[in-house]
Structure 1
């Protein structure tokens, strides 16, 4: 394998790993302990864990695998392969951060702010590397692929808000308010980073 090939394939994978390290940290150490819902896979898993005997980690893994199937069908081979790396990295890092006894969550406003920084930067790392996180962002990427005029950041916000509204039944209106604040903060940071910095060219997806 040539040096150029290693750089072409290795650099995005390293950025994907970094992204999932950041995303998992933000969710495991700030969002989940503070019961802040965000509209993503982890928050959906938090709701299902409240309603079933299965844990948040178990639900996160099952939903992630389901989203990965959609990535394979609609987003093409390159995105799928990188999304496999992304999904397994997230599941592993989320389990690791959940297991480590680091109690960092204290005040909801601070937890939302810090989580937004870590998760927004993490999503940027993955999407800029032409990978989904094998989370609900898969559906935002599919929608943007079907209609290029759609904005991925906007679609992520719509999906998150829909899940947030459904989650209110379990976590209440206070969680909804914090969740909406988080959604706009992290997606805003992600969108700004994507507009300013594109380290790798976009790849074509299958139809």
Structure 2
């Protein structure tokens, strides 16, 4: 591996780590204390945690990803990126650290404000991971399985999975919080696409500037 490749790998894992920290922060300080099950494995873990409080969110996400990776290897195959595996388990670790060491708590009890702030932070974190072909696991794995064995595309499969979690959240925490969770899912989907698009344009601009510098140097 060349020096450039090593630096590129370090940079990518650094970006993934920042994304993971943002997602964990949004979940632990906005979603979780306000019972907002905003889709995904994290939302499902929040529902399960309500019924089994002895299991922390980080532990539930870790176990969930472990089960999902095992199922995915059997149903889809072993072509999984190391960055996704790293991100999914790092998320569990960071969430447990925030909960047990930092004693995370709600930064606001206003549900609308919690949805907006939490989703902005979580969506940005997810977009950072997606921008370098990584993810935090969870619903991405379920969506891939659904996509392989049905006629649904990835986007529709993700929406179906997230909506299923929102329904479970509404049953567990009530219709009012279920509607806020639905709002979180919609905002998150729009935000992730927007941030990824912004990152893509930034990369194109930097590549163009680098190309211009090389032409001038030549």
TM-score (structure 2 length as normaliser): 0.79
In structure 1, the partner of 2:210 is none
TM-score (structure 1 length as normaliser): 0.83
Instruction: Show structure 1 runs of 5+ residues with no match.
Output: 201-207
After TM superposition, give the deviation of residue 191 of structure 1 in Å: 1.2
The verdict on how the C-alpha distance between 1:175 and 1:135 changes in structure 2, with shifts beyond 3 A counting, is same
The verdict on how the C-alpha distance between 1:130 and 1:148 changes in structure 2, with shifts beyond 3 A counting, is farther
CA distance in 2, matches of 1:176, 1:60: 20
Give the aligned length: 198
Greater shift in the superposed pair: 190-199 or 130-139? 190-199
In structure 1, the partner of 2:52 is 52
After TM superposition, give the deviation of residue 86 of structure 1 in Å: 0.4
Matched, 1:160 2:165: no
In structure 2, the partner of 1:95 is 96
The verdict on how the C-alpha distance between 1:43 and 1:149 changes in structure 2, with shifts beyond 3 A counting, is closer
Q: Over the residues paired in the alignment, what is the CA RMSD in angstroms?
A: 2.6
After TM superposition, give the deviation of residue 27 of structure 1 in Å: 0.4
Considering only CA atoms, is the larger Rg found in Structure 1 or Structure 2?
A: 2
After TM superposition, give the deviation of residue 118 of structure 1 in Å: 0.8
CA distance in 1, matches of 2:149, 2:86: 24
Matched, 1:82 2:88: no
CA distance in 2, matches of 1:17, 1:113: 22
Instruction: Show structure 2 runs of 5+ residues with no match.
Output: 205-218
In structure 1, the partner of 2:33 is 33
After TM superposition, give the deviation of residue 54 of structure 1 in Å: 3.6
Deviations 1:100-151 (A, max 9, x none): 1354132111110111111101111112221221211223355567899935
